[in-house]
Structure 1
Amino acid sequence: MKEIDNFYLQLDEPNKSCLLALRDIILSQDQEISAEWKYNLPFFCYKGKMFCYLWIRPKTNQPYLGIVEGKYFDHPALLAEKRSRIKIMLFEPNEDLPIETIEMIIQQAINLYKSGQIKLRDKKR
């Protein structure tokens, strides 16, 4: 079993279902998105470049979505806290996910790469 799969399987409910649903939402946004295991947490890459990740806040046991280049856009659902680059979106795992908001934020993050604002690695020829 891959570490990334094991991560999800070891979680307790309701965080397990919440993060699995978030994973599916993220992966459905663009065919260029891949799920990877980096820094001991589930990361999502766009064309090989890290753009978001899932984690659980240790103090509150609250799942969240981290947007790697969150500093480039503002949304009331995103928190910077003490981070200079990453912004996070917290979730209540026993409540319905705000799917439209999540999809909008993921699309904004992807557009940073598509627009060239965040440079993608050149493919080797």
Structure 2
Amino acid sequence: MKQLDDFYLKQEEPVKGLFLALKEIILKQDKDITNVLKYGMPFFCYKGKMFCYLWIHKKLKQPYIAIVEGKHFDEPFLIQENRSRMKIMLIDYDKDLPLVKIEKILNKAINLYKTGIIKI
């Protein structure tokens, strides 16, 4: 857990505060969501299955939430780029968090696992 905590603490503001807030938002969506460090990134798993993660877009320098099974969604605010499976939601740290959008997409993703569309 120390490496995971260190990841968040090493981020510079405003990204640090944003990632910590997103972590809390994601974890409160379901009791079966856990936070782990994979590939040097904070991943969130639903019942042990990779669900989403936080990262910073290399070119745009913007933080984002990546939805592992994003290919199942057609929301216009999710970006696929060159990914075959995942889609990302860019977060503008100069604005308030779009909490409704974030919770909507997280719950939609959780439902993929709960309904069996994604095997656990």
* Normalised-by-shorter TM-score class: over 0.9
* Residue 3 (structure 2) aligns with: 3
Count of equivalent residues: 120
Provide the aligned C-alpha RMSD in A. 0.9
Larger radius of gyration: 1
Secondary structure, counterpart of 1:54 in structure 2: strand
Q: Is there any run of 5+ residues in structure 1 with no aligned partner, and where?
A: 121-125
The alignment partner of 2:81 has SS state of: coil
Residue 123 (structure 1) aligns with: none
Following superposition, which runs of at least 4 residues in structure 1 exceed 4 angstroms of deviation?
none
- TM superposition shift of 1:94: 1.9
CA distance in 1: counterparts of 2:12 and 2:38, whole angstroms:
21
Letter in 2 for 1:52: C
Listed one character per residue, the Cα deviations across residues 58-103 of structure 1 (whole Å, up to 9, x for unaligned) are 2232100000000011111100011110000001112100001000
Distance in 2 between the 1:14 and 1:95 partners? 11
What residue is the counterpart of 2:31 in the other structure? Answer: 31
Separation in structure 1 between the aligned mates of residue 84 and residue 60 of structure 2, nearest angstrom: 22
Alignment of 1:1-125 (within 5 A): 2-120=2-120
- Residue 58 of structure 1 aligns with an amino acid whose one-letter code is K
Q: Counterparts of 1:116 and 1:40 in 2: how far apart (Å)? A: 29
Q: Secondary structure at the match of 2:9?
A: helix
Inter-partner Cα distance in structure 2 for 1:118 and 1:81: 22
